[in-house]
Structure 1
Amino acid sequence: MAMWIQAQQLQGDALHQMQALYGQHFPIEVRHYLAQWIESQPWDSVDLDNTGEEAKAKRLLDSLVAELQRKAQLQGGEDGFLLKIKLGHYADQFKSTYDRCPFELVRCIKHILQSEQRLVQEATNASCGGRAQAMDTLSQRHQQINQAFEELRLATQETENELRKLQHSQEYFIIQYQENLRIQAQLTSLPSVPLAERKQREAALQSKRATVEAWLAREASTLQKYRLDLAEQHQKTLGLLRKQQTLILDEELIQWKRRQQLAGNGGPHEGGLDVLQSWCEKLADMIWQNRQQIRRCEHLTQQLPLPGSMEDLLTKLNADITDIISALVTSTFIIEKQPPQVLKTQTKFAATVRLLVGGKLNVHMNPPQVKAVIVSELQAKALLKNESTHSESSGDILNNNCVMEYHQATGTLSANFRNMSLKRIKRSDRRGAESVTEEKFTILFESQFSIGGNELVFHVKTLSLPVVVIVHGSQDNNATATVLWDNAFAEPGRVPFLVPDKVLWTQLCETLDMKYKAEMHSGRGLTEDNLVFLAQKAFSSSSNNPEDYRNMTISWAQFNRENLPGRSFTFWQWFDGVVELMKKHLKPHWNDGAILGFVNKQQAQDMLLSKPNGTFLLRFSDSEIGGITIAWVAENPNKQGERLVWNLLPYTTKDFSIRSLADRISDLNHLLFLYPDRAKDEVFSKYYTPPLSKPVDGYVKPQIKQVVPEFTTPNPEPCPGVVFMDQTASSSASHSNNFGVYSSIGDPMLDPDGDFDLEDTMDVARHVEELLRRPMANQWGSQQS
């Protein structure tokens, strides 16, 4: 209800926009009397693209009808009688209108609530002057557009008034012209009149004819001047229309498309499409009114030709305004919901296209059909250069035809492709070192429709963002890199699908931070120290000064074509592995600030050696994709008085699917403080798995517990049925190192860079799994022996 209270306080244009949201499809009284109930319902939980959720939408409809009926029954007394009847009527109306299409009700209410929220937010930002410069700029731009619309409205109204005056003047001129013809006919018939009467009548008729002809001559000149003045006014209005259309289409709509593109990299979700539609509809309305006025001027000119023909001028005006409306219609055929940019063959995908001026131009009266085809980069270039008029396909898309639907509640005309699937793809010859995951395609959506009673016919096309087609999930990582680079660094109006081969490191940092924050679903992104760590990795550098990297450039090859020195993976593959690991298993710990992550071994050693024994930190593995390790400081068991930093074998997604990070940390009693000085239970206890439940049917569920033998404190009384690694491991296993240590003595289990060789060591969890697969009797037997 808080939203409705704020909405009622809107003023001016914002209040009019809010009121315009309501009508017969959803009366404003229903919003008022059911405000709290409406705002508490899970409208956003209904996926309008999933037909399987129609039952959920139906339940919401039934609940709304029931709530209206309940509210009606509560009305009593003389004052409540009319409201009781009205609410009951609305309940019946909703039932009959939406019972067969409950999705439309949900779509309507979602649109209303989102629009109200936007209007309230804009009003709040406008009233808090200096809170955010970006919002101030946005408000100023919107104000500029609204002022231009008011200027256009006044100009259009003025030309309409002048056109009516011209029409009335011309009609009177024709009447006087007919009068002149009648006088001329009377003069012609005078010879049949007696001579005495003829002279008297001839003199009077000649005088009248002279007066009328003089008036006609003056009025003809006046009419011609009216026509020229009106044409000049229309030229000025067309200039204003072009300027406003350029601002909306070439700036606002392009910015919306750019935000949509960045949303593919995790940027803020593109909003404001409803505002854009309202502007485009106003433009369409103004353009159409002026076009009709020009057509009426043409008709008046044809009806009464005058010296100094205006046909050429009016023809040019007509052609100019037709060009303007053509540009508006073709530019507002857009992709509201982009298809996935990494597109796997034989996999269902969806997309939505929308015509922003469809409702205003009544295109929905004869709903057009939209077709989707996949085209190559070369074909996309030809289409944009108008070198190709036919849509040659580079693959077969199933369910690629859809009829546009008009949603009266929201006033949108759109085609929702719900079940498309790419059956096959035809690839082109690749260039140089380019792989299949660097080849870009695009989905072309095209349609044809007419407006003004088939007066104007439009063939509209729009291209999706670049898509990379894969046939196996193993290609997803590299395909995502191609898409990420394209989304981040593509420039508006580029030739498809050119992107720079090199970009500033700072530009890439912004992209990586955007991606990381989006996957973590929090505001905690990459710090400057994190970015320095990544720069060191990308450029094989040891500098800790961020300024050293500020003006450096990184190429596509460095990003995801060439392997990192001494590794079998690229920079992006390593970074994406970290993102996937964090997203799937460690997101809460990152958002809690428990994971430093972007720290190398030497940094970890320097940080931990200054802290008490038992202090530990979590850092990402340098040698393994999607790995994280625990580093801690402790005494050297082989040399009294020496303190060393130890590193556990890196954990991966596979390990955390067996036992969580928090439980693994809980298992290790030698880990006491999370760097710098936080007690580990304070940080991780809320994520520990609860103790085992009581036995069921005489069985006790076994539990996996991680240990590091050299740092294990014996448990005097093990719990029955709980299997610990230190209880079951053989003597040979108990002395094998499952950790790394910084030491000057060479360790055959460490690779030259100080990381474990995964082929020569066994992960703790896998070891425990192996133990659990042994017969129970053998386990206890080996323990007793």
Structure 2
Amino acid sequence: MAMWIQAQQLQGNALHQMQALYGQHFPIEVRHYLAQWIESQPWDSVDLDNTGEEAKAKCLLDSLVTELQRKAQLQGGEDGFLLKIKLGHYADQFKSTYDRCPFELVRCIKHILQSEQRLVQEATNASSGSGAQAMDTLSQRHQQINQAFEELRLATQETENELRKLQHNQEYFIIQYQENLRIQAQLTSLSSVPAAERTQREATLQSKRATVEAWLAREASTLQKYRLDLAEQHQKTLGLLRKQQTLILDEELIQWKRRQQLAGNGGPHEGGLDVLQSWCEKLADLIWQNRQQIRRCEHLTQQLPLPGSIEELLNKLNSDITDIISALVTSTFIIEKQPPQVLKTQTKFAATVRLLVGGKLNVHMNPPQVKAVIVGEQQAKALLKNESTHSESSGEILNNNCVMEYHQATCTLSAHFRNMSLKRIKRSDRRGAESVTEEKFTILFESQFSIGGNELVFHVKTLSLPVVVIVHGSQDNNATATVLWDNAFAEPGRVPFLVPDKVLWTQLCEALDMKYKAEMHSGRGLTEDNLVFLAQKAFSSSSNNPEDFRNMTISWAQFNRENLPGRNFTFWQWFDGVVELMKKHLKPHWNDGAILGFVNKQQAQDMLLSKPNGTFLLRFSDSEIGGITIAWVAENPNKQGERLVWNLLPYTTKDFSIRSLADRISDLNHLLFLYPDRAKDEVFAKYYTPPLSKPVDGYVKPQIKQVVPEFTTPNPEPSTGVTFMDQTASSSTTHSNSFGVYSSISDNMLDPDGEFDLEDPMDVARHVEELLRRPMANQWSSQQS
């Protein structure tokens, strides 16, 4: 059966190939319902080329037919009626089709099993070693759950059969009891009969009554034992149901919710909800069947009270089964699509809630309405502790009511909130250094509905992941930090919304790597060297040994409350600036491996001085949020024979909105090799902007080019466009050699790291914009002169 479980996990083309193996010759339903039996048979032991082994093949055919017939007989109830007919039909079909050629059946099944094994193996090989191991673990869990469902199905079918026997015996007992009453009435009526005749008839009736009463006494004892045995069987089934429900709700569903939370940090998409729904629907079906059986037992007991009543036990069973189904319904009211965790006021947002057992319990027959309200941390605590049933709102959400809809194609019952908007927010008093971007809220979704013809009424509610409310885009960075920390380090079942104040550095590394890979849409995440660089920045350390940081802890304050030494920004603000820059402008270059990025100035100098002149690398600015600089090695123009490493003023997202990184690198002819030794055109040429087209309607289109004056070779020929010098270079070994189009740059304009303070020189983007606003004729004449 393990093979069939794995085959059901196939996706895409592999799944289609697996489905194509089946048809009229071998229906997929037979493979599904006889999976364990089929995989346990010795199909490979039959030599298809040896006619002497036809008897062995015939034996396997007969066994398959017998197993199908046995499986068909086990089906009961309204839901099992069609399956019973279908399996019986397949048994007859196999008998008539393969009885004269049993080898064909063996050949067919061997081909199917071998093909399934190949498809599963290919899917396993396509994933990593850890992925294959995870798939094995997943298969084992699924096998355990499916086997438990089979046990529950058989147990429920057995109690159904026993209940029918009990009902039949009780009905016969009542008939005999009525017969005894009739005999009693006949004996009473004998008083009007002549003595001679009365004596004879009385003796006959007395004998008959004695026989019936003796039978009634025995049968009453038997019925009572039946009732007790059946109640004990139900008690055992309820124990299995609880165990299965705990496995699905407290493990599988919680794990799905955890994956959903990590998806907020860029983790793999949570997926698997349809599988969870199928399990929850099976649970609901089995629980409801058992509940109906227990209620029928109660009815039989009330219909025929007997000494030694088991009413108390049945009441307990009824109460327990109601608790089980209540836990299932309330736990499966979940948020399929979370609202955004950084929520800006006056901005439209969406969310989807789903009741996993809604279709199975026919909740959609009277579609319930769902309401969404935003509540604060204290209210969330009270709700989870059941200390409050009143949803005191912390703000006003527009379009916060939605009716659940049943989707026939997917068999899902869900409510899609498409146009919600947070109109206003009411904040609580903040503690200490806590800012508004550290305050957490949650969206509460609640509904009420009934099942079983108003037999059971449920008030269900579920809380979204924590949301941080902002009123301006400038708050997004810090709000994202709060969300990332919460998603990464929240413990299952926590008190809202407690998270540890300190975590291991290695734990934070996992969260940062997950976020970075997600934003780059690439498997290329942060290397160990990158993480060492980040540790050096976070802890103000100069160690290059990753082991030195393995057992260190980092606090929330170090992460995003306290500024880095000598800077006016936090560790997270710097990291998030890098992520935003890469995501918007440099993603292809990162995925190509062209950007080293996480390298400090001293490391860049050491790396480049060992390379030929013109070798350059790209690294993130230490002194500016969302900045990247080009460092290259070249001769010192002021001292012959001396080589220096130069650093351009960092580019930011504003610079790349004017001219791309690849074009800027193309402009600088003194840049020859991307570190360590790749020709720059080999790496960047595919990203260069195509040459300008010819003049149109008499107009010449201006061209922006980047120039570093000290490294520019004069070009005597007139340009076809307008060239602007827009960049400044500094030497990383001395502060006295600075060149640019701006006024003379003094030492006090350099930050402690040797990079320029952008607050003093003219901003590059503003400079270009100023030039572009000048009349073109003036610029052209200036260029010619």
CA offsets 1:24-75 (integer angstroms, 9 cap, x no match): 9999999999999999999999999999999999999999999999999999
Higher mean alpha-carbon deviation, 587-596 vs 87-96, is at 87-96
Shift, 1:194, TM fit? 1.2
Shift, 1:717, TM fit? 1.6
Shift, 1:768, TM fit? 4.0
Does the aligned pair in 2 maintain the 1:238–1:321 contact within 8 Å? Answer: yes
CA offsets 1:696-749 (integer angstroms, 9 cap, x no match): 111111100000000001123233334353999999999997669999998444
In structure 2, do the counterparts of structure 1 residues 207 and 646 end up closer, same or farther at CA, with 3 Å as the change threshold?
Answer: same
Does the aligned pair in 1 maintain the 2:708–2:740 contact within 8 Å? Answer: no
Secondary structure, counterpart of 1:371 in structure 2:
strand
In structure 2, do the counterparts of structure 1 residues 72 and 399 end up closer, same or farther at CA, with 3 Å as the change threshold?
Answer: farther
Does the aligned pair in 2 maintain the 1:125–1:131 contact within 8 Å? Answer: no
Which TM-score applies when normalising by structure 1?
Answer: 0.84
Shift, 1:325, TM fit? 0.1
Shift, 1:550, TM fit? 0.3
Does the aligned pair in 2 maintain the 1:560–1:570 contact within 8 Å? Answer: yes
Secondary structure, counterpart of 1:307 in structure 2:
coil
Shift, 1:754, TM fit? 0.9
In structure 2, do the counterparts of structure 1 residues 17 and 328 end up closer, same or farther at CA, with 3 Å as the change threshold?
Answer: farther
Shift, 1:341, TM fit? 0.3
Does the aligned pair in 2 maintain the 1:343–1:468 contact within 8 Å? Answer: yes
Aligned equivalents of 1:39, 1:635: Cα separation in 2: 74
In structure 2, do the counterparts of structure 1 residues 52 and 768 end up closer, same or farther at CA, with 3 Å as the change threshold?
Answer: farther
**1:227-238 alignment, distance < 5 Å:** 227-238=227-238
Does the aligned pair in 2 maintain the 1:536–1:542 contact within 8 Å? Answer: yes
Does the aligned pair in 2 maintain the 1:727–1:783 contact within 8 Å? Answer: no
Does the aligned pair in 2 maintain the 1:646–1:741 contact within 8 Å? Answer: no
Does the aligned pair in 2 maintain the 1:649–1:740 contact within 8 Å? Answer: no
Does the aligned pair in 2 maintain the 1:740–1:755 contact within 8 Å? Answer: no
CA offsets 1:601-645 (integer angstroms, 9 cap, x no match): 000000000000000000000110000000000000000000000
Aligned equivalents of 2:750, 2:777: Cα separation in 1: 36
Shift, 1:694, TM fit? 1.5
CA offsets 1:81-126 (integer angstroms, 9 cap, x no match): 9999999999999999999999999999999999999998998689
Does the aligned pair in 2 maintain the 1:68–1:90 contact within 8 Å? Answer: yes
CA offsets 1:638-692 (integer angstroms, 9 cap, x no match): 0000000000000000000000000000000000000000000000000000000
Aligned-pair identity in percent equals: 95
Shift, 1:242, TM fit? 0.1
In structure 2, do the counterparts of structure 1 residues 358 and 345 end up closer, same or farther at CA, with 3 Å as the change threshold?
Answer: same
Higher mean alpha-carbon deviation, 107-116 vs 334-343, is at 107-116
In structure 2, do the counterparts of structure 1 residues 463 and 736 end up closer, same or farther at CA, with 3 Å as the change threshold?
Answer: same
Does the aligned pair in 1 maintain the 2:47–2:53 contact within 8 Å? Answer: yes
Higher mean alpha-carbon deviation, 484-493 vs 67-76, is at 67-76
In structure 2, do the counterparts of structure 1 residues 237 and 36 end up closer, same or farther at CA, with 3 Å as the change threshold?
Answer: closer
Does the aligned pair in 1 maintain the 2:730–2:737 contact within 8 Å? Answer: no
Shift, 1:201, TM fit? 0.6
CA offsets 1:378-414 (integer angstroms, 9 cap, x no match): 0000011111111111100000000000000000000
Shift, 1:554, TM fit? 0.2
Shift, 1:19, TM fit? 8.7
Shift, 1:762, TM fit? 3.4
Does the aligned pair in 2 maintain the 1:726–1:734 contact within 8 Å? Answer: no
In structure 2, do the counterparts of structure 1 residues 398 and 96 end up closer, same or farther at CA, with 3 Å as the change threshold?
Answer: farther
Does the aligned pair in 2 maintain the 1:705–1:724 contact within 8 Å? Answer: yes
In structure 2, do the counterparts of structure 1 residues 712 and 264 end up closer, same or farther at CA, with 3 Å as the change threshold?
Answer: same
Shift, 1:267, TM fit? 0.1
Secondary structure, counterpart of 1:413 in structure 2:
strand
In structure 2, do the counterparts of structure 1 residues 330 and 48 end up closer, same or farther at CA, with 3 Å as the change threshold?
Answer: farther
Shift, 1:753, TM fit? 2.2
CA offsets 1:455-484 (integer angstroms, 9 cap, x no match): 000000000000000000000000000000
Aligned equivalents of 2:397, 2:50: Cα separation in 1: 20
Secondary structure, counterpart of 1:741 in structure 2:
coil
Does the aligned pair in 1 maintain the 2:6–2:139 contact within 8 Å? Answer: no
Aligned residues: 785
Shift, 1:778, TM fit? 3.5
Aligned equivalents of 2:741, 2:26: Cα separation in 1: 69
Secondary structure, counterpart of 1:717 in structure 2:
coil
Secondary structure, counterpart of 1:730 in structure 2:
strand
In structure 2, do the counterparts of structure 1 residues 372 and 731 end up closer, same or farther at CA, with 3 Å as the change threshold?
Answer: closer
Structure 2, gaps ≥5 residues long:
none
Does the aligned pair in 2 maintain the 1:72–1:85 contact within 8 Å? Answer: yes
CA RMSD of aligned residues (A): 12.8
In structure 2, do the counterparts of structure 1 residues 640 and 10 end up closer, same or farther at CA, with 3 Å as the change threshold?
Answer: closer
Secondary structure, counterpart of 1:703 in structure 2:
coil
Aligned equivalents of 1:330, 1:79: Cα separation in 2: 25
Shift, 1:284, TM fit? 0.1
Structure 1, gaps ≥5 residues long:
none
CA offsets 1:256-311 (integer angstroms, 9 cap, x no match): 00000000000000100000000000000000000000000000000000000111
Shift, 1:772, TM fit? 3.4
In structure 2, do the counterparts of structure 1 residues 771 and 32 end up closer, same or farther at CA, with 3 Å as the change threshold?
Answer: farther
In structure 2, do the counterparts of structure 1 residues 493 and 178 end up closer, same or farther at CA, with 3 Å as the change threshold?
Answer: same
Aligned equivalents of 1:111, 1:471: Cα separation in 2: 63
Does the aligned pair in 2 maintain the 1:125–1:135 contact within 8 Å? Answer: no
Shift, 1:248, TM fit? 0.1
Aligned equivalents of 2:293, 2:154: Cα separation in 1: 14
Aligned equivalents of 2:445, 2:50: Cα separation in 1: 21
In structure 2, do the counterparts of structure 1 residues 450 and 103 end up closer, same or farther at CA, with 3 Å as the change threshold?
Answer: farther
Higher mean alpha-carbon deviation, 667-676 vs 25-34, is at 25-34
Does the aligned pair in 2 maintain the 1:646–1:740 contact within 8 Å? Answer: no
In structure 2, do the counterparts of structure 1 residues 646 and 741 end up closer, same or farther at CA, with 3 Å as the change threshold?
Answer: farther
Shift, 1:141, TM fit? 0.1
Higher mean alpha-carbon deviation, 95-104 vs 18-27, is at 95-104
Aligned equivalents of 1:284, 1:458: Cα separation in 2: 15
Does the aligned pair in 2 maintain the 1:489–1:499 contact within 8 Å? Answer: yes
Does the aligned pair in 1 maintain the 2:355–2:413 contact within 8 Å? Answer: yes
In structure 2, do the counterparts of structure 1 residues 778 and 5 end up closer, same or farther at CA, with 3 Å as the change threshold?
Answer: farther
Aligned equivalents of 2:257, 2:601: Cα separation in 1: 43
